[in-house]
Amino acid sequence: MYFPIRAITLDLDDTLWPFAPIGARVEQVLHDWLLQHCPRTAQRFPIEAMRALREAVYTERPDLSHDFSQLRRLSLVRAMELSGDDPLLHAEAAFETFYAERNRVEFYPDALPALERLAARVQLAAISNGNADLARIGVHHHFAFQLGAREHGTPKPAASIFHAACTQLAMSPADVLHVGDDIDMDVLGAHRAGLRSCWLNREGHAWPHDSIRPDLEFTTLGALADWLDAADPANHLHSNVQPDTAAA
């Protein structure tokens, strides 16, 4: 399969690293911090109760559905107010404890070597609905920029966030390949915005749609780097992978 690309935009959670271990760990780390600094909050809102409160705050504030950090802050303030702890003294420190742990990620084994290889060939940018911080994580030097739903104001799969990234890259959507794990947010979102799409299908799921398919499909980011290494000098890219790993 041949088509030119000039840049790659990448999803983060479950594309470069698995999110589930982070999600479980941050709740425990935050609860341990509350036990030490806000024991009344920790007692009234153990992990399950804090999770339920957070979901309630999310439901109340659909206007902030693109800003997980602010929703987390509001949840902590609410929990402290209800428990008799002072959020002015503790909420920001609690959030920082959560956020530091949220940015302690364990990359998929292929991800870091693949990032280096991809960044050596084309510009990379991150597009994420989450609140990971590439500078804190230590890989920002591979990326031209990071565009989050919080900064943009609208999450994927809205076309506007993909178009905003293309504008920052000073490129046409057709010249950009978006890579991500989520079928709706990443593949269909990018396709509808006019970008090329690559489904990072690490678990080997079957593609569920008949009318739309990703331009590419791989089980690792390293396989995408192999695909990119097959480029000719004009950057007209072609696939040397087997038919079941690259979509036609």
Any domain includes 215: yes
As a whole number, mean pLDDT of residues 189-212 equals 96
CATH of the domain at 49: 1.20.120.1600
Query: pTM here?
Result: 0.88
* Structural domain that includes position 174: 2-17+107-238
Radius of gyration of the chain (CA): 20
Is 204 in the same domain as 191? yes
Q: Are strands 176-180 and 2-4 parallel, antiparallel or unpaired?
A: unpaired
Does 165 score more than 70 pLDDT? yes
CATH of the domain at 139: 3.40.50.1000
End-of-domain residue from the set 102, 135, 157:
102
Show the DSSP H helices in the chain as ranges.
20-37, 39-44, 47-60, 68-83, 87-102, 111-119, 134-137, 149-152, 159-169, 189-192, 221-229
Is 129 in the same domain as 209? yes
Tens-place pLDDT, residues 81-104? 999 999 999 999 999 999 999 999
What's residue 230's pLDDT? 84
Residue 89's Cα: distance from chain center in Å?
A: 31
Is 214 in the same domain as 128? yes
